[in-house]
Amino acid sequence: MTQRAGTIAIDGQVASGKTAVGRELARRLGCPFLDTGIMYRAVTWLALQEAVSIDNSDALTQLAQGTPMQLNDLEGRTILLGGRELGPELRTAEVDRHVSPVSTVSGVRRDMVRQQRSIAERSCQDMGGIVMVGRDIGTVVLPDAGLKVFMTASPEVRARRRYDELIAQGMPADYDEVLANALSRDRIDSQRKDSPLAQAPDAFLLDTSDLTIEQVVARILERLGRKADGSAA
């Protein structure tokens, strides 16, 4: 029998590499991957679609509560929002600009945490585990996760990664703007009152500035006592 992956919580700053690493890790462990940022993005996208003001906390909370989300693919590239598949529309510059303020709303966070815990529970039952990535996974969503990782990298490295990603997707991008946006989102994410971005005391800190995705994945697998292909060592 293959060993269960269990719950793996990865938190970190914008473009610290957590999504690419988490997705690859989940692939090797044979369990689903969920980047929880996609859920805050979905609420933001819906608010923009329905012309709900980003300043209206009550309306945003109602929107979150009325929007059940489900995993759609194991790689977490898309999400099912009330049965509708969403992916690329959640990664536009407009959603980027509004998502941090939306994620400061406590009512929105409460509902996202509730939904994330229920997704984790189902994934553990059906697939033996989940790799969940975000800002508050190790501290709030899954405080009993089997392994917690906190990823960081220098602002310049992170902005360059995000810039290259946008260019590769054929999106317009300006490096200085990307850097300013990343710094501003980091500030909002780590200074907000409700569950700010923070390293859990029992999380393993990984500075990815000078590491490739493969090297980061290898270090995490080593921590888990696994071989490079994800199998038990």
Distance in Å, CB of 222 to ligand DC, minimum = 25
Long-range contacts: 221-225, Cβ < 8 Å, 24+?
Answer: 221/25, 221/28, 223/147, 223/149, 224/8, 224/147
On the 0-12 / 13-18 / 19+ scale of CB atoms within 10 A, 18 is buried
Residue 134: strand pairing partners: 11
Distance in Å, CB of 5 to ligand DC, minimum = 19
User: 19, 63 in Cβ contact below 8 A?
Assistant: no
CA distance 82 to 196: 28
Indicate the residue among 31 and 105 with the shorter CB distance to ligand DC. 105
Interface ranges with ligand DC (CB under 6 A): 14, 36-37, 40-41, 99-100, 103, 134-137, 185, 189
Indicate the residue among 28 and 186 with the shorter CB distance to ligand DC. 186
Indicate the residue among 7 and 100 with the shorter CB distance to ligand DC. 100
CA distance 204 to 214: 17
Indicate the residue among 5 and 104 with the shorter CB distance to ligand DC. 104
C-beta atoms surrounding 89 within 10 Å = 14
Distance in Å, CB of 82 to ligand DC, minimum = 20
Indicate the residue among 14 and 86 with the shorter CB distance to ligand DC. 14
Residue 149: strand pairing partners: 10, 204
User: 95, 141 in Cβ contact below 8 A?
Assistant: no
- Output the residue with the shortest Cβ distance to ligand DC: 37
Distance in Å, CB of 231 to ligand DC, minimum = 29
Distance in Å, CB of 102 to ligand DC, minimum = 8
Indicate the residue among 192 and 226 with the shorter CB distance to ligand DC. 192
Distance in Å, CB of 136 to ligand DC, minimum = 5
